[in-house]
Amino acid sequence: NADLDKTARTILIENDQGGYTIPTKGLYPYQWNWDSVFVALGFATFDQSRAWREIEMLFEGQWRDGMVPHILFRKDDPSYFPGPSVWGTDGGPIPSSGHSQPPVAATVIKDLVDADGSGKALERAVKLMPQLMNWHRWYLAYRDPKDLGVLAVIHPWESGRDNLPDWDEALRAVEVKDIGPYERKDTSHVDPAMRPHKEDYDRYLSIMAACRNVGWDPQKVAETCPFFVADPGVTFIFLRANRDLLILAERLGLDAEAEEVRGWIRKMEAGAKTLWNDELKAHVALNERTGRQTDGISSASFLAPYAGLADQTTLTSLQGHFDRIASKVRYLMPSYDPDHRNYEPLRYWRGPVWAMINYMIARGFAEAGDNERANRLRQDTADLIATGGFAEYFSPENGAGAGGGTFSWTAAIWLTWAS
């Protein structure tokens, strides 16, 4: 569809701030971590050098301890809350938020290398390797301090799947304090019915305050943060990223790094079992502060094959869940199980469909040999964009676009799948 291709390219170009891209005007006026990395995939379909620039600029904000922050505040924009003064961080060269976001970068960097015939990409990848390694080391040190082989998030926003029902119980346990009066900006850009509730925001800010109180010291954050939940989304994305990092390290002849990454992969393959819920027959989140697993299937449960975990038991049960969910909603993959009591088709991460999640799930299913379900996801994503436009996310029931409009990662996934 040439018209949609053109619109998608225009969205990326118009959201481009000169080397980095905002997710959408109004709602998200800065550089977001995993948004940018998916955006790079989109740029790569028509401008590979620009794709690299996107990721290089993200890594310019890497903290001294190795973390790559979830938002880089390269300029002040009063239309967004919470801005840099609320975060109060001091860990890196660019004002930023204080936690990270799903580490898709190594996977996309490997994709960019694969897509390039000239060898130039490899030169750019070499430069990013030490930064990638440090970010992954940071994840293991401070988001898996007990060496379980799974990664936790210290804030729902670190998962990128902000108000998923999986966070509810752990979030309710966060004491609301040190926040003072504040004014949200998100609900002035989009319909409040599509956004988290105030009681969630109070706690989002309380977690930030608790981390600010320990100076965002990563060790202290890991020990004391009131929210510490192992996330199948970040865990699977990281495991997959490590497999791609290993291929890069081998290709570049970095033997010591390759050996280090092999150890991480072994640990995480074993650790993923901690997230397996035997009743649901799927991977779920685990509150590390209480030892309790959550009781719902999210779109991240379907990322196990993307992480290379496609043994027969996992694959067969995911296929069963896939077909059950497909019989309930018109468009796959809802962010939360439509049979779960906390499913809401239009509220942020409690039901809607995201294009880039579909892209990752489909990739895993195709790699596991299930092209039928992979194609279904690709077709649904194309239908959603044709129906709802390049929205931030979509209703799984009627395809209505929701959240922010002219959204960069939706455009990027369209282009990636079209090319």
Judge whether 356 and 413 are in contact, CB under 8 Å: yes
Residue with smaller CB distance to ligand DGY, 174 or 366: 174
User: Binding of ligand DGY at residue 162 (CB under 6 A)?
Assistant: yes
Judge whether 248 and 257 are in contact, CB under 8 Å: no
Give a three-class secondary structure readout of 326-387: HCCCCCCCCCECCCCCCCCCCCCCCCCECHHHHHHHHHHHHHCCCHHHHHHHHHHHHHHHHH
| 3-state SS assignment for residue 31 | strand
Angle at 178 (CA atoms; ends 174, 182), nearest 5 degrees: 100
Judge whether 267 and 239 are in contact, CB under 8 Å: no
Distance CA 16, CA 31 (A): 10
Residue with smaller CB distance to ligand DGY, 166 or 186: 186
Distance CA 419, CA 414 (A): 9
Q: How crowded is the C-beta side of 380, counted as CA atoms within 13 Å?
A: 31
Q: Tell me how far, at minimum, the Cβ of 175 lies from ligand DGY, in Å.
A: 21
User: Binding of ligand DGY at residue 166 (CB under 6 A)?
Assistant: no
Q: Tell me how far, at minimum, the Cβ of 361 lies from ligand DGY, in Å.
A: 21
Torsion angle (degrees, nearest 10) of CA 7, 10, 12, 14: -140
Neighbours of 242 (CB within 10 A): 29
Peptide bond preceding 333 in cis form (omega within 30 of 0): yes
Distance CA 18, CA 305 (A): 36
Residue with smaller CB distance to ligand DGY, 186 or 231: 186
Residue with smaller CB distance to ligand DGY, 53 or 70: 70
User: Binding of ligand DGY at residue 344 (CB under 6 A)?
Assistant: no
User: Binding of ligand DGY at residue 157 (CB under 6 A)?
Assistant: yes
Q: Which amino acid belongs to residue 192?
A: P
Nearest residue relative to ligand DGY (C-beta): 157
Residues 295-324 that bind ligand DGY (CB under 6 A): none
Quote the DSSP letter at residue 214.
T
**CA quadruple 285, 28, 397, 386: dihedral sign:** negative
User: Tokens for 127?
Assistant: 């430069």
User: Binding of ligand DGY at residue 202 (CB under 6 A)?
Assistant: no
User: Binding of ligand DGY at residue 186 (CB under 6 A)?
Assistant: yes
Segments in 21-166 forming alpha helices (H) = 33-44, 48-59, 84-87, 105-115, 120-143
User: Binding of ligand DGY at residue 73 (CB under 6 A)?
Assistant: no
Residue with smaller CB distance to ligand DGY, 46 or 81: 81
Residue with smaller CB distance to ligand DGY, 207 or 315: 207
Nearest to 384 by CA among 419, 358, 348, 363: 358
Name the pairing type of β-strands 31-32 and 393-394.
unpaired
For the packed helices 2-15 and 33-44, what is the interaxial angle rounded to 10 degrees?
130
Residues 42-71 that bind ligand DGY (CB under 6 A): 70
Give strand pairing partners of 283.
276
Q: Which residue numbers are catalytic?
A: 162, 392
How many residues touch ligand DGY under the rule CB under 6 A: the total is 4
Residue with smaller CB distance to ligand DGY, 165 or 308: 165
Residue with smaller CB distance to ligand DGY, 70 or 124: 70
Q: Tell me how far, at minimum, the Cβ of 157 lies from ligand DGY, in Å.
A: 4
Which residues of the shown chain bind ligand DGY in the complex (CB under 6 A)?
Answer: 70, 157, 162, 186
